[in-house]
Structure 1
């Protein structure tokens, strides 16, 4: 009975705290916009994260959360109540981070090329400002 109380307490903590924090509302809107625009980088498949969440610790391990994966492995089969969500949210967080980094890198490359054109005298300052605004707008998902 004592071990049951410990398992129940651990399960309650995991359920209340959640295993994967997921995206906040602003990040969720950016994620949806990136997906809609076809620029989302999918490193982890959220649907696969859900499916693996039904295996002992699978969703958390897939989402690169080995500590939670071990805990969910120990709490299995109860962990199937929350680990699919952890797999889903964790995959989305990974995709969000990878996409944000990719877009930042692409924007910086475009800005560097534009600055090179200005330095070489291929464009004037007015054209530079207009093109820079265009680049800033292209990568703005606020």
Structure 2
């Protein structure tokens, strides 16, 4: 996997989304019709796709605690990054502060795309944000 990381300034399709540097809303695609939306402020929305199992908290914003990329070939695990060619582990606290965590493991990522400001605004209007987002693990690593 390449280390060509995105800092959120370019809307092209990066191969690595570094959550310690990126800003905004990103959609993470895989071979599954299910899409994962990552808001770098610490939110996740799993958009259930046709043919995929329905899981609790699908199509809802949930506080995102941790993200890890797992390379299926090298078995390398990298925190705070979403990487094309890797499987992504998302740890969430859907009850917002209850510390009753749930996890999701996405299929191998095929593309990462930044969502336009207009599309993000429309999405936030359609799906309400949780009242108590947590501070995600990567927040302490962001440059000040």
Structure with more strand by fraction: 2
Return the TM-score normalized by structure 2: 0.23
More helix by share: 1
Larger of the two Rg values belongs to structure: 1
